[in-house]
């Protein structure tokens, strides 16, 4: 099987996102994905074992891109509240910029088989570790409460972003997901803040800046 790189591989991934978002995972045929990608159906099987493998690969590729981008945006930031703000902005902007991808990741994967959920487990754990590192750094630097359980805090942070993104995908009303980032940040920052009081969101800490 060829390495999962190159223009054809990328074309198949993007075509699969479009087809699955429009027709649902179970209503999408490999042949249709091939037509959308502009390749022969047999070419699909040079890169993927089956349709299940395609869905797993979409998740690994796209969440992997977010995980790879995060350190570049966050590692040079000292203030842990600013790190949190930018993490939320990065998560929401990934979906805001590609609604079809958001639908596949937020809706189709949740209706998938156990084998698919197992296939994406490692990359989601990697994202969980990234969020936990943000929490631990905030605790170590004195921005966040010293008695936090990083795993519980991670569940709250990820769960908040995940729920808001899912509601955005499912809503019949079109609105700006990024417009929710500041409110989500403020709720989380107040809960994590060492003193638990006030608004730890100075004007200069704008998400995405």
Q: How do the domains of the chain map onto residue ranges?
A: 1-48, 51-192
Fold of 1-48: Arc Repressor Mutant, subunit A (1.10.10)
At 113, is the pLDDT very low, low, confident or very high (cuts 50, 70, 90)? confident
pLDDT digits (tens, 9 = 90+) for 127-136: 999 999 999 9
DSSP state of 207: T
Axis-axis angle for helices 150-170, 121-140 (nearest 10): 120
Backbone angles phi, psi at 144, to 5 degrees: -100, 165
Give the pLDDT score at 39. 95
Is pLDDT of 198 > 50? Answer: no
The predicted model gives 65-69 an average pLDDT of 94
Is pLDDT of 84 > 60? Answer: yes
Range from 2-6, 42-46, 75-79, 113-117 carrying the lowest mean pLDDT: 2-6
Is pLDDT of 138 > 50? Answer: yes
CB atoms within 10 A of CB 114: 7
Closest Cα to residue 133, out of 179, 56, 70, 189?
Answer: 70
At 3, is the pLDDT very low, low, confident or very high (cuts 50, 70, 90)? low
At 6, is the pLDDT very low, low, confident or very high (cuts 50, 70, 90)? confident
Contact between residue 18 and residue 34 where contact means Cβ atoms under 8 Å apart = no
DSSP state of 199: -
The pTM (predicted TM-score) of the whole model is 0.88
- Compute the distance between CA of residue 41 and CA of residue 190 in angstroms, rounded to an integer: 52
Architecture of domain 51-192: Orthogonal Bundle (1.10)
The predicted model gives 118-141 an average pLDDT of 94
Closest Cα to residue 50, out of 108, 102, 115, 121?
Answer: 115
Instruction: Give the contacts of 129 (CB within 8 A, at least 6 positions apart).
Output: none
Q: Is the dihedral of CA 13, 18, 19, 23 positive or negative?
A: positive
Is pLDDT of 58 > 90? Answer: yes
- Compute the distance between CA of residue 115 and CA of residue 30 in angstroms, rounded to an integer: 18
Give the pLDDT score at 133. 97
Give the pLDDT score at 14. 96
Give the pLDDT score at 201. 54
* CB contact burial 164-201 (16+ within 10 A = b; e otherwise): bbbebbeeeeeeebbebbbebbeebbeebbeeeeeebb
Instruction: Give the contacts of 150 (CB within 8 A, at least 6 positions apart).
Output: 132, 135, 136, 139
């Amino acid at each position: 099987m060829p390495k999962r790189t190159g223009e054809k591989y990328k074309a198949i991934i993007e075509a699969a996102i479009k087809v699955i978002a429009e027709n649902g995972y179970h209503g999408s045929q490999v042949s249709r994905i091939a037509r959308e990608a502009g390749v022969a159906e047999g070419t699909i099987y040079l890169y993927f074992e089956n349709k299940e493998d395609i869905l797993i690969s979409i998740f690994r590729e796209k969440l992997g891109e977010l995980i790879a981008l995060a350190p570049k945006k966050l590692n040079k930031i000292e203030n842990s509240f600013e790190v949190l703000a930018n993490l939320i902005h990065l998560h929401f902007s990934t979906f805001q910029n590609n609604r079809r991808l958001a639908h596949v990741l937020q809706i189709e994967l949740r209706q998938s088989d156990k084998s698919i959920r197992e296939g994406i487990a490692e990359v989601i754990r990697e994202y969980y570790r990234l969020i936990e590192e943000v929490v631990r750094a905030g605790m170590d630097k004195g921005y966040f409460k010293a008695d936090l359980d990083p795993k519980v805090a991670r569940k709250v942070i990820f769960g908040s972003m995940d729920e808001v993104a899912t509601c955005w995908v499912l809503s019949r009303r079109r609105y700006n997901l990024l417009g929710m980032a500041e409110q989500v940040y403020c709720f989380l920052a107040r809960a994590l803040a060492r003193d638990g009081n006030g608004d730890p969101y100075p004007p200069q800490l704008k998400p995405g800046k």
